[in-house]
A = this chain, B = another copy of it.
Amino acid sequence: MANASPPPFVAVLAGGSGTRFWPAGRTARPKQCLALDGDDPRPLLALTLERVRPLVAADAAPWIVAPPDLRRVLASAAPGHPASAWLAEPAPRNTAAAVALCAFTAAAADPRTPVLVLPADQHVAPVGLYRRALKAMLARARRSDAILTLGLVPTRPATGYGYLRRGETLPAPKGLAMNVVERFVEKPDAPKARRLMRDGKHLWNGGTFAFRADVFLASLARHLPEVHDPLAALFARGVPTARRLATVWHQLPSISVDYGVMERTERVEVVSAPLTWDDLGSWDAAARGRQADAAGNCLRGDVVAVDARDCVVDAEGGTVALLGVEDLIVVRTGDAVLVARRGRGEDVREIVARLKAEGRSELL
């Protein structure tokens, strides 16, 4: 039966925004189009596609799932990506709807299609081990009724990630581990994060999932019928046109697939590996991956630094000069400059919220 199994449906969720990477990230230039992975000059989307390409047939490509208004900018970040491998979500509607769209689309070809969905904007290394983990997830998804998630061994007491508690150990390929997920743990506070990291039983939830389309859709029908039922009605008449999809899409609730489906699903299993992983959620996270100079600075673009220490600078479209400063994030992109204290990267959202409240859409 495994031999007759259909080829995998690998989908990169690329509908995210770049709010926390303002001013480099804008509505029209989301995070996945930026070069935020260490010192690699390529955008995150290009790196993600390159990592997962070996998982699909030589004549196929991973799908890019994104709203149509992002397609042009995403295409520039994914040069050579075939026009046939774009899956349009009418608008960003959080991950439950996006993953459901993938599952319905895959099931339209064959309900037993193994599906892998992953974010477009993370750092992960080494790539060989990562690919083996994803392949193990797909292989397990093919032959079981479980939903598989990718677990990462925590390397710091992160408060920005969800955690998974490992239960029963399952057989796994060499270098990988496979466990039943005992429970999902919401983003913890700092003391709890330290406990979770120390006890050796918890993993970060990487937001990467594998499942057979029929397995996910059954769970979706049970746990999130408000997303399942309208899409099921549509797909019952075949893969819908963009226009017909849009009429239904805007009524779907905006909810994450983790919260809406995974945490409620009876059988979730986790494949884990000692990967270096980061969701690159803020300038602080992006800075962690960069090589610093002798003064601790990570400087990109036209930067003049005098007596500056531990600063991260992205200068685009102009010169940035630092004098006697430390621990700053400075990002210049065309019409805007951000000067932030390192460690405050998450709060860049507050700047964006302020600009939004002031109707400064030209800056967003």
Contacts and interface: CB of A to CB of B under 8 A. Distances in A.
Interface string A310-348: 000001001111111100101010111111110110011
Given A324-B341, A324-B344, A340-B324, A335 B318 contact: yes
Interface in A21-54: 22-23
Contacts of A186: none
Q: Which of A23, A324, A350, A360 has the most CB of B within 10 A?
A: A324
Contact of A351 (B22, B321, B340, B363): B321
Contacts of A336: 318-321
A355 interface: yes
A347 B323 contact: yes
A72 interface: no
Contact of A304 (B304, B343, B355): B355
Contacts of A337: 315, 318-321, 330, 332, 337
B340 A323 contact: yes
Contact of A340 (B319, B325, B344): B325
A244 interface: no
Contacts of A83: none
Given A304-B355, A355-B304, A330 B339 contact: yes
A319 B318 CA distance: 13
A290 B289 CA distance: 40
Contacts of A321: 22-23, 336-340, 351
**Which of A339, A347, A350 has the most B CB atoms < 10 Å from its CB?**
A339
A306 interface: yes
B319 A347 contact: no
Interface residues of A, number: 35
A325 B328 contact: yes
Contacts of A323: 338-341, 344, 347-348, 350-351
A354 interface: yes
Contacts of A344: 307, 323-324
A320 B325 CA distance: 17
A347 B324 contact: yes
A363 to B, nearest CB: 6
A338 B335 CA distance: 15
B363 A319 contact: yes
A350 to B, nearest CB: 5
Given A306-B347, A323-B344, 5 more contacts: A319-B363, A321-B338, A321-B340, A330-B337, A332-B337
Q: Which 3 A-B pairs have the closest CB atoms?
A: A324-B341, A323-B340, A324-B344
12 contacts: A304-B355, A306-B351, A307-B347, A318-B337, A319-B337, A321-B338, A322-B339, A323-B339, A323-B344, A325-B328, A325-B340, A325-B341
